[in-house]
Amino acid sequence: MFKQFISRIPGADVYMVGSFLTFFAFFILVGLYLVFADKRHLRQMSNLPLDESTDD
């Protein structure tokens, strides 16, 4: 049913490939961010809910 619906839309393959590339690029960028992010900052942010000191 879905295949018949998509086959009737002209240029639907362009939209599908474009959305796949957007999805893929987003996760590649998030992965690169996690690899190159400052580990000290990530550790500080992960401990933030457990940190009882207040710096107000």
In the predicted model, what is the mean pLDDT of residues 30-42?
93
pLDDT value of position 23 = 96
In the predicted model, what is the mean pLDDT of residues 12-16?
83
Which residues in 1-35 are b (16+ Cβ under 10 Å) and which e? eeeeeeeeeeeeeeeeeeeeeeeeeeeeeeeeeee
What predicted TM-score, i.e. pTM, was given to this entire model? 0.59
Over the chain, what is the mean pLDDT? 85
pLDDT value of position 38 = 93
In the predicted model, what is the mean pLDDT of residues 13-21?
89
Task: Pick the more confident residue, 52 or 27.
Answer: 27
